[in-house]
Amino acid sequence: MNSSSWRSIPTVDRISDMPDSILCHILSFHPTKFAATTSVLSKRWKLVWIAVVALYFDQETFNSFASFRNFVWLSMFTLRDKKSSIYSFTLKCGESSRFTQRDWVKIFKFVMERGIEYLNFDMSGKKCQIKLPLCFLRYNKTLEVLKLSNVQMRDFDQVNFPRLKILELNYVFFKSRANSVKFLFGCPILEDLQTELALPILLKTISDSNAEISRDCEEEMLLTSQTRLPMFHNLTHMKLSIHTRSWGWECSSLLGILTHFPKLQHFKIQDCATATLSCKCWIDPVTTFPATVPECLSSQLKTCYIRGYRDSKWYCVFAKYIVQHSKVLETMTIKTSFLAKNQKFLRILSSSTRGSPNCKLLFD
């Protein structure tokens, strides 16, 4: 077949043959700015991008805040049907963002009225924090995924997220530990929590699956009657990042609260503090560790991983307790860049009694 014959074969526009629902689904995976550019293709596309159920706004893709704000307002309030639902909403703002508090209230009201299930409110590009409108914390019956970055929580009476399963809090500031606990109480079926907070949310405020916690505080972690949390029966994975010199406070608190995670199977601890920092160990491990062995150690915990192992008796005491009381533990992994310096503690750990006959100690 010659080249002229090839050119005579008509091309098929398969995209145009797709129903609007499929096109909307495809556009939902792209930033809203990109979806809007498809409106130049034809009159049909002008209606398609407006009907997309996922909105994604990123200020970094705009030359100025004014153009960014105009596009957000156009997409949310001017062109879109006021009764249309939205499944997902992502808003990322940069340092030049000048949304007012009244704007934030309007944005969150828009979100709440449209049955949203996924919300990512990312203010990490700003130096100053955004105060989250209180109206958002009240009854929100559809939200399942919530991600907040660099925001400040005002004092609030209650939080009500009855369907929330995934929660990510990155540099979210609570005015008190009681408020942080109260926030978690408002998420009764939480499955996954990842958090890096400037004010401690307490080690008890952990999710029901794949939990990741990062603390940057040396305050006392002992619980009071005002900050107690319920049992988390679905938690199987927990990753804890520690940014503190006082590791003694951390490990005693950790072991003391493991009773709240009866299904914990995989436990990972990462020490992010400088390895040469001295540890201030005030607490006697004999008197602060739990009187009864947590259920997760007795029947669930399979792997424990400690990264950034430092020259401290607390690391040894903590790891030794886990090894001795975990009945089904398969591996205890210690990773450190100061392996030679920690040989004494590693020998102690290697010679300690193991609750599980199949437990392997791995040193890296």
- Mean pLDDT, range 140-165, rounded to an integer: 91
- What pLDDT digit, counting tens, does each position of 241-297 carry? 665 554 444 566 677 778 878 888 988 887 655 443 333 433 444 446 777 899 999
Among the ranges given (39-43, 84-88, 106-110, 233-237), the one the predictor scored with the smallest mean pLDDT? 39-43
pLDDT of residue 144: 94
Q: Are 108 and 127 in contact (CB under 8 A)?
A: no
Regarding predicted confidence, which is higher, 133 or 23? 133
**Is residue 252 in some structural domain?**
yes
**Is residue 272 in some structural domain?**
yes
- Mean pLDDT, range 125-130, rounded to an integer: 83
pLDDT of residue 184: 80
CATH number of domain containing 306: 3.80.10
Q: What share of the chain in percent tops pLDDT 70?
A: 68
pLDDT of residue 323: 94
**Residue 211 reports pLDDT greater than 70:** no
pLDDT of residue 216: 42
**Burial state string for 304-315 with b = 16 or more CB within 10 A and e = fewer than 16:** bbbbbbbbbebb
| Closest C-alpha among 339, 340, 319, 341 to residue 329 | 319
Q: What share of the chain in percent tops pLDDT 90?
A: 24
**Residue 231 reports pLDDT greater than 60:** yes
Task: Give the chain's mean pLDDT.
Answer: 76
- Read out DSSP for 46-101? HHHHHT-SEEEEEGGGSSSHHHHHHHHHIIIIISS-TT---SEEEEE--TT----H
pLDDT band at 90 (very low <50, low <70, confident <90, very high): very high
Give Dmax (Cα) for the chain: 89
Distance of alpha carbon 113 from alpha carbon 95, whole angstroms? 28
Angle, helices 343-351 vs 313-325, to 10°: value is 20
Residues 6+ apart with CB under 8 A from 152: 129, 130, 131, 132, 172, 173
**Is residue 7 in some structural domain?**
no
Structural domain boundaries, residue 241: 199-206+228-363
- Read out DSSP for 314-337? HHHHHHHHHHHH-SS--EEEEE-S
**Is residue 79 in some structural domain?**
no
- What pLDDT digit, counting tens, does each position of 14-66 carry? 666 666 667 767 767 777 777 776 665 666 666 677 778 889 999 999 999 99
| 3-state secondary structure (DSSP) of residue 31 | coil
pTM value?
A: 0.67
- What pLDDT digit, counting tens, does each position of 292-329 carry? 899 999 999 999 998 876 656 677 788 889 999 999 99
**Is residue 329 in some structural domain?**
yes
Residues 6+ apart with CB under 8 A from 157: none
Q: How many domains does the chain have?
A: 1
Among the ranges given (84-93, 122-131, 216-225), the one the predictor scored with the smallest mean pLDDT? 216-225
**Is residue 214 in some structural domain?**
no
Q: Residue 282 CB: number of other CB atoms within 10 A?
A: 9
**Is residue 265 in some structural domain?**
yes
Q: Are 53 and 28 in contact (CB under 8 A)?
A: yes
Assigned token pair, 281: 């160990």
**Is residue 145 in some structural domain?**
no
Is beta strand 303-307 parallel, antiparallel or unpaired with respect to 88-92? Answer: unpaired
